[in-house]
Amino acid sequence: MSLTHFAPATSLLWKYLDSTGINPEPLYKNAGINPELLLNPNARININCVDALWEQAAGVIEDPCFAIDMAEFWHPSHMGALGYAWLASSTLRRAFKRTVRYIHVVTEDLNLEVVDTPAGLKISVDLADSIFTLPQHHDLVITILMHMCRFNFGDELVASEIKLAHPEPACSTKITDYFRTDVQFDAEQSSLTIARADADHVLLSGNKQIALMHDEMLMRYLVEIKKGDIVQQVQSIILENLPDGQVTDKMVATELNLSERSMQRRLKEHKTTFRFLLDSVREMVAKQYIENPMNRMSDIAFLIGFSEQSAFSRAFKKWTGKSPVEYRNSLS
């Protein structure tokens, strides 16, 4: 299955190229990208086309640190619902976790990880298995993340650590000037670290209801774009049928035009089972609904296919180690 990229995200490069006097249209067309797709929030582009576009752009742009300048053209719409969920996040920590969870909505060839370190909350970029190999790819991801943090927190925000997984370029002063701190080059992974106090600072721009609304959109969209994979196909069917009551392996197999045995065998090849996927989807959806204080526990139980709230509570505690009420209280 070919990996894809959210089409409007590529308009960031278009705007930058246009600002420098370079006509973007022939570059996009040569890479096999129809420029009209950039305005379509439902369109996705093959990741190989995006890589071909960047290779061309890097060849005609004289400044090797051009990715730093691209931040000023960033708009939430370039990330779809994830961009708006970021803006509505109550803290940078929550914003980072949303980004890690839903980054494949923007691009499927990039993985992120968030961990607490002595220096603060660190978000690392994993491009090890990616076809994106240019230094500018690392610069862009870290720069955009920093830009987004400042967009929410304030321009005064300075990272406690910046690491880039490529050699120091001749224009490195431009990079350090943007981040306003020392930058470690030739790092094992590119990463951005924010002081813990800054990461957990409650943001005035936060809006929990709006963030949760976009979370639900992202969850469903992520499952939708992964439908080519048997695991994601099963998860998608489970997600669509949860509110209807009991979701069975027989019902899902029928929708896939497979026998139960064939479906289970194919899932086994992916080292998973129908029961595991059913529980993981239920847990994912339950957590989304529980985060919204307007949702009653009895309604959540029904929405994820439990006929009794007590059965839902037992299952949720098995999944997370906490009751639904304890989990909701831990979020406040």
As given in the structure block, the two tokens for residue 309 are: 């709230």
133 versus 129: which is more confidently predicted?
A: 133
DSSP class per residue in 122-154: EEEEE-TT-S---HHHHHHHHHHHHHHHHHHH-
One domain for residues 92 and 151: yes
Task: Give bridge partners of residue 111 from the DSSP assignment.
Answer: 126
Contact between 120 and 155 under an 8 Å Cβ cutoff? The reply is no
pLDDT band at residue 304 under the 50/70/90 scheme: confident
Q: Which of 152, 180, 199 corresponds to the end of one domain?
A: 199
Does the pLDDT of residue 294 top 90, yes or no?
no
What is the pLDDT averaged over residues 201-224? 85
Whether 156 maps to a domain, the answer reads yes
**Cα 303 to Cα 57, 118, 240, 328, distances in angstroms:** 48, 41, 11, 17
Contact between 242 and 280 under an 8 Å Cβ cutoff? The reply is no
Does the pLDDT of residue 17 top 70, yes or no?
yes
What is the pLDDT averaged over residues 265-280? 90
Whether 147 maps to a domain, the answer reads yes
- Structure confidence at residue 284 (pLDDT): 86
User: Helix, strand, or coil here: 113?
Assistant: strand
CA–CA dist 138, 329 (Å, integer): 38
89 CB-contact burial (10 Å; exposed 0-12 / middle 13-18 / buried 19+): buried
| pLDDT, the chain, mean | 91
Whether 207 maps to a domain, the answer reads no
Does the pLDDT of residue 196 top 80, yes or no?
yes
CATH number at residue 231: 1.10.10.60
Query: Which of 18-27, 109-118, 244-253 bottoms out in mean pLDDT, i.e. has the lowest?
Result: 244-253
One domain for residues 263 and 302: yes
Q: Which of 133, 164, 199 corresponds to the end of one domain?
A: 199
Percent of the chain having pLDDT more than 70? 98
Structural domains in the chain (count): 2
305-331 confidence digits (pLDDT tens)? 888 899 999 999 999 999 999 999 887
pLDDT band at residue 227 under the 50/70/90 scheme: low
Q: How many CB atoms within 10 Å of residue 185?
A: 16
pLDDT band at residue 225 under the 50/70/90 scheme: confident
One domain for residues 84 and 134: yes
pLDDT band at residue 146 under the 50/70/90 scheme: very high
- Structure confidence at residue 217 (pLDDT): 84
Whether 314 maps to a domain, the answer reads yes
Q: How far apart are the first and last CA of the chain?
A: 40
One domain for residues 61 and 195: yes
One domain for residues 103 and 187: yes
- Structure confidence at residue 228 (pLDDT): 65
Does the pLDDT of residue 1 top 60, yes or no?
no
As given in the structure block, the two tokens for residue 234 are: 């099963």
- Structure confidence at residue 18 (pLDDT): 96
Does the pLDDT of residue 22 top 90, yes or no?
yes
Residue ranges making up the domain that contains 288: 226-331
